[in-house]
Amino acid sequence: MPCNVSFNVNIVASRSPVTVIGGGQPGPNDLNEALQLAPMCVAVDGGANLARDAGVEIAALVGDFDSVTPETLSQIPLARQFKLAEQETTDFDKALRSVAAPLILAVGFSGGRVDHQLAALSSLARHPHQRCLLIAGEQVIFLAPPRLDLPTRAGDVVSIYPLAAVHGESSGLEWPLDGLELSPLGRLGTSNRATGPATLRVDRPAALVMVPRVLIPQVAQSLLQPDAAAWPAPSE
């Protein structure tokens, strides 16, 4: 039988970036692109079916196993199966609290149902200490750390979407954030444009950044810098 795991336990601990795959609708190149930067693959529920079909070795399977086929389960050693039976959180949330790594690349959590996509974005804010890049179509989405150097090019669309009221400062953006309050029911920061490399500062872990997915390697490198700012883990 698979291991039954309590609510907050790190199942996978890695000193290198980790790819997490969910059972959504990843693009044709999403998984391969993530694995190039993060070769270890953790599957969440139905994501195991997608990883198996792609011939990717699964380092760990987490979730409640309600969407994993029996055939897929039979090909994953029991020692790599970790059952999280609770139904209070989403697959993506389970992944973010189960993996300890310097960076997570997430695929298969966008596309399909809009409510699933919104829940995934909320999970980024629920786990602000996790550096996670969510690959979504032609964009990559991540929670803004306290300070970040963005390797943008002139003309790149940079969207900053607030999940709560947040204040920021910026350089290298056509419409600076300085002196503004962004909030989901007020001013948004979507469809801004870079004038070149940009710098972003925010005062709380409540702003999602969306940039072209072509920048994934450069954004990953920026987040992995030894002096990169990070939010603390939320208190239990």
List of the chain residues with pLDDT < 50: none
Instruction: Name residue, tokens 């990883």.
Output: 51
| The overall pTM is greater than 0.85 | yes
Q: How far apart are CA 40 and CA 181, in angstroms?
A: 39
pLDDT recorded at residue 236: 55
Q: What are the DSSP calls for 199-225, one per residue?
A: EEEESSS-EEEEEEGGGHHHHHHHHTS
* DSSP code at position 29: T
pLDDT recorded at residue 8: 57
Q: What are the DSSP calls for the chain, one per residue?
A: -PEE--SS---EE-SS-EEEE-SS---TTHHHHHHHH--EEEEETTHHHHHHHTTPPPSEEEE--SS--HHHHHTS-GGGEEE----SS-HHHHHHHHEE-S-EEEESSSSS-HHHHHHHHHHHHHSTTS-EEEEETTEEEEE--SEEEE---TT-EEEEEESS-EEEEEEEESS--TTEEE-TTS--EEEEEEEEEEEEEESSS-EEEEEEGGGHHHHHHHHTSTT---PPPPP-
Closest by Cα among 190, 154, 147, 151 to 169: 147
- The one-letter code for the residue type at 46 is G
Summarised one tens digit per residue, pLDDT across range 40-94 is 999 999 999 999 999 999 999 999 898 999 999 999 999 999 998 777 888 899 8
pLDDT recorded at residue 91: 86
Q: What angle do CA 38, 162, 47 make, to 5 degrees?
A: 35
Domains and CATH numbers, the chain: 1-137 (3.40.50.10240), 139-229 (3.40.50.10240)
Residue 60 bridge partners (DSSP): 42
